[in-house]
Structures are given as C-alpha cells and as structure tokens.
Amino acid sequence: QVQLVESGGGLVQAGGSLRLSCAASGRTFSNDAMGWFRQAPGKEREFVGGISPNGDSTSIADSVKGRFTISRDNDKNTVFLQMNSLKPEDTAVYYCAASPLAFVRTQAGTYMYWGQGTQVTVSS
C-alpha cells in the first residue's frame, strides 16, 4: 500500500521556521518527482515547491521563493520542506505528493499519491 505521511507542522510565530518531512512507503519513490502543496481555509490548493526524482532540479513558487527550500533523501524515502521567515499568510494545511513524471509539475492533477496533510499555523 502506497503511503505518504507528513510531519513537522505546528504553531510558530511570524519570522520563525519549521521543517516538514514526508515519509514515503509502498513504492519506489526515487523514480517520482515529489511536490509540496498547501491549502488555506476557503482557498484552492496551491503548489509550493517540487523536486525531481534524483534531486538535481527544484521548483519553488514565487510566493515562498527565498524563504522555502525543498530537498529529498532517496535512501530514506523522505522529502523535506524547510520553511524560514514564516508569515501569517503561510498558514495552511501542507500536503506532499508524488508524481510518476520525471520532472516537476505545478498542477495538482499530475500527482498520483497524496499524504493526509499537516497543519502549519503562523501567528502574528
């Protein structure tokens, strides 16, 4: 059974940092591009960042560029989202997702597997 499990969310003050992890199992995720998305209440799910299967290419949304970075450890089937200089507008449920494509896409529909999400709340 394919599973993606996010962790590392929580409550943090503006300007603080969090590191999200996504542990994958049930599939060879080293062949998949991985992405992070987020969804705030009343808003559509949006792309945050993605990383290619071997980690040599990343894509970060303009809204978080310079503050968020994405990385992966294929030996541990884990993807990370380092979030620095957090702002209240970063508050959302954050999801990781896996795509069988070999390159990063920003469209949620291209991702086949999804985690259950982890809540990130940034207080002002």
Average pLDDT value for residue range 7-32: 95
- Pairing assessment for the beta strands 3-7 and 10-13 based on DSSP bridges: unpaired
At 91-112, the pLDDT tens digits run 999 999 999 888 889 999 999 9
Place of tokens 């291209």: 110
Confidence category of residue 38, pLDDT binned at 50, 70, 90: very high
Among 105, 101, 121, 86, CA closest to 36: 105
DSSP 1: -
Angle subtended at Cα 117 by Cα 111 and Cα 118, rounded to the nearest 5 degrees: 145
Question: Bridge partners of 95?
Answer: 37
On the question of pLDDT at 47 being above 90, the answer is yes
Look at the alpha carbons of 64, 44, 114, 108 in this order and tell me if their dihedral is positive or negative. Answer: negative
